[in-house]
Amino acid sequence: MRVRYTPRAQADLDDIFNYLDATAPVVAPTIKNAIERRIALLADFPRIAPETELRGVYELTIIRYPYKVYYEISGDEV
Protein backbone atom coordinates (compact mmCIF):
# COMPACT_ATOMS: atom_id res chain seq x y z
CA MET A 1 0.00 0.00 0.00
CA ARG A 2 0.96 3.59 -0.47
CA VAL A 3 0.38 6.39 2.03
CA ARG A 4 -1.00 9.49 0.31
CA TYR A 5 -1.72 12.76 2.07
CA THR A 6 -4.64 14.94 1.08
CA PRO A 7 -3.72 18.61 0.75
CA ARG A 8 -5.54 19.32 4.03
CA ALA A 9 -3.73 16.50 5.83
CA GLN A 10 -0.35 17.72 4.57
CA ALA A 11 -1.18 21.27 5.67
CA ASP A 12 -2.20 20.02 9.12
CA LEU A 13 1.01 18.02 9.45
CA ASP A 14 3.08 21.02 8.37
CA ASP A 15 1.28 23.18 10.95
CA ILE A 16 1.95 20.63 13.69
CA PHE A 17 5.64 20.39 12.75
CA ASN A 18 5.99 24.17 12.62
CA TYR A 19 4.31 24.47 16.02
CA LEU A 20 6.64 21.86 17.50
CA ASP A 21 9.70 23.59 16.04
CA ALA A 22 8.60 26.91 17.53
CA THR A 23 7.46 25.73 20.96
CA ALA A 24 9.62 22.70 21.72
CA PRO A 25 12.72 22.79 19.52
CA VAL A 26 14.69 20.34 21.67
CA VAL A 27 12.12 17.55 21.50
CA ALA A 28 10.52 18.46 18.16
CA PRO A 29 12.67 16.03 16.11
CA THR A 30 11.75 13.13 18.40
CA ILE A 31 8.03 13.86 18.22
CA LYS A 32 8.08 14.47 14.46
CA ASN A 33 9.95 11.20 13.95
CA ALA A 34 7.38 9.32 16.07
CA ILE A 35 4.53 10.76 14.00
CA GLU A 36 6.22 9.94 10.70
CA ARG A 37 7.13 6.39 11.77
CA ARG A 38 3.61 5.66 12.99
CA ILE A 39 2.07 6.92 9.75
CA ALA A 40 4.59 4.94 7.68
CA LEU A 41 3.35 1.74 9.35
CA LEU A 42 0.07 2.20 7.53
CA ALA A 43 1.72 1.22 4.25
CA ASP A 44 2.28 -2.31 5.58
CA PHE A 45 -0.50 -2.49 8.17
CA PRO A 46 -3.40 -0.36 6.95
CA ARG A 47 -5.82 -1.87 9.46
CA ILE A 48 -3.56 -1.36 12.48
CA ALA A 49 -5.97 1.23 13.89
CA PRO A 50 -9.55 0.75 14.99
CA GLU A 51 -12.39 1.90 12.81
CA THR A 52 -14.29 4.93 14.10
CA GLU A 53 -18.05 5.21 14.30
CA LEU A 54 -17.84 6.47 10.71
CA ARG A 55 -17.66 3.38 8.53
CA GLY A 56 -14.35 3.15 6.65
CA VAL A 57 -12.60 5.85 8.70
CA TYR A 58 -9.81 4.71 11.01
CA GLU A 59 -8.20 6.47 13.98
CA LEU A 60 -4.48 5.97 14.48
CA THR A 61 -3.14 7.15 17.82
CA ILE A 62 0.38 8.51 17.98
CA ILE A 63 1.63 6.67 21.04
CA ARG A 64 2.93 8.88 23.89
CA TYR A 65 1.80 12.09 22.16
CA PRO A 66 -1.56 13.87 21.89
CA TYR A 67 -1.99 13.37 18.16
CA LYS A 68 -4.35 11.21 16.13
CA VAL A 69 -4.41 10.45 12.45
CA TYR A 70 -7.74 9.81 10.72
CA TYR A 71 -7.57 7.96 7.45
CA GLU A 72 -9.40 5.86 4.90
CA ILE A 73 -8.30 2.94 2.76
CA SER A 74 -9.03 3.27 -0.94
CA GLY A 75 -7.71 0.71 -3.38
CA ASP A 76 -3.99 0.46 -2.78
CA GLU A 77 -3.79 3.79 -0.94
CA VAL A 78 -4.15 4.81 2.66
Residue 11 lies in a domain: yes
Residue-range definition of the domain harbouring residue 25? 7-72
What total number of domains does the chain contain? 1
Residue 43 lies in a domain: yes
Residue 1 lies in a domain: no
pLDDT digit string, tens, across residues 13-46: 999 999 999 999 999 999 999 999 999 999 999 9
Strand positions, DSSP E, 10-66: 57-62
Residue 39 lies in a domain: yes
- Beta strands at 57-62 and 67-72: parallel, antiparallel or unpaired: antiparallel
Percentage of the chain lying above the pLDDT 90 cut: 99
Question: Is the pTM here over 0.95, yes or no?
Answer: no
Residue 17 lies in a domain: yes
